A and B are shown apart, each in its own frame.
Chain A
Amino acid sequence: MALKASALKVGDTHKERVVENLSRTQIVQYAGVSGDYNPLHTDEVYTTQAAGYKSVFAHGMLTMGLTSKMLTNYVGDGRLTKFGVRFTNQVWPGDTLDSTATVEAVRNEGGQNYVDLKLSTTNQDGKEVVAGSATARIDP
């Protein structure tokens, strides 16, 4: 299922819904497995009454993980050479997120083909929560 350089062109996109109605429980799951137990993500009492936010919110790294699901579904397993993101807005319980990869370049370096992708994950209001880029090895 690997991508082929011969079949890709600049501007091609791949889009997936990566979470619908994000639950506080999924945020707790991510806290537990990642080891990041910052109460800002799981403790509504602390977050609203001590820290001053309207609600708990997702780890940026959970949103990166959700974005990575779209990315690996597109480029295949074990194909990434680079993956980077900026967290541009917070992700809240109840959010529904869509992730998009857009082909920026298809190139050959030392006999290996690569695709450079621009990444964007947006919420149900169209607001971008993650902006990023990735590079993957692809077939000829």
Chain B
Amino acid sequence: MAKITFPVEATHIMMFARAIGDTNPVYHDAEAAKNTEAGGIIAPPSFAQAVAQFDPEYHLRPKPGQKWFGSGATPSGVDGKPASSGGLHAEQHYEYVRPLRPGDVLTCETKPGKTWERESKRAGKLTFRERVTEYRDQNGELVMIARGVGVTTERPVDAG
């Protein structure tokens, strides 16, 4: 898989903190953040998920000139798409060496991990796929490791 370059920016961090409803000044106020233990603005713990913005091929972003599977004139813009859901997120794990900061330019490399299957009452056969991403900074130092597990279900999950 290609490496992705992920520039960490203060505005992006501010918007991410807003989306999770976190008003901690360490995510948006450079002056206030200076006087904290962090010594400046840092990113929230799950911010690295926004690396998707920097993946040119990311499949869950509409692209000009390509059919999008969300609704437009019809409930889905793609013909013949099965009624079953696509993938869902089952697990996410992070190991941190240090917090991400504005100005960091990260290089992210994702490798497939384990695959396994399980039967579920609520969604039929579940297929789990693991992906491990290493984040290195502008000095080549490892700053964090992310391990995500995606699941594809046989049918939509019963809300039960």
Contact = CB atoms under 8 A, between A and B. Distances in A.
Q: Do A and B come from one complex?
A: yes
B83 interface: yes
B139 interface: no
B115 interface: no
B113 interface: no
Contacts of B99: 77-78
A86 B38 CA distance: 28
A116 to B, nearest CB: 14
Interface of A: 2, 18-19, 26, 29-30, 32-40, 42-43, 45-46, 49-54, 59-62, 64-66, 68-69, 71-73, 76-78, 80-87, 90, 92
B52 A36 contact: yes
A33 B19 contact: yes
A72 B16 contact: no
Given A39-B70, A51-B85, A86-B91, A34 B75 contact: no
B44 interface: yes
Contacts of B147: 84
A33 B15 contact: yes
Given A62-B19, A65-B19, A87-B90, A34 B156 contact: no
Contacts of A65: 16, 19-20, 22, 44, 46
Contact of B81 (A36, A50, A68): A50
B16 A34 contact: yes
Nearest to A68: B45
B159 interface: yes
Contacts of B24: 69, 72-73, 77
Given A50-B71, A76-B37, A78-B38, A83 B20 contact: no
Interface in B54-88: 55, 58, 60-62, 68-71, 75-76, 81, 83-86, 88
Main secondary structure of the interface of A (DSSP, over half): mixed
Contacts of A46: 69-71, 75-76
Given A19-B21, A36-B60, A61-B89, 19 more contacts: A18-B21, A29-B15, A33-B16, A33-B18, A34-B19, A34-B49, A35-B58, A39-B69, A46-B71, A46-B75, A49-B71, A60-B89, A68-B20, A76-B37, A78-B37, A81-B96, A85-B92, A87-B91, A92-B159
A58 to B, nearest CB: 11
Nearest to B160: A89
B92 A84 contact: yes
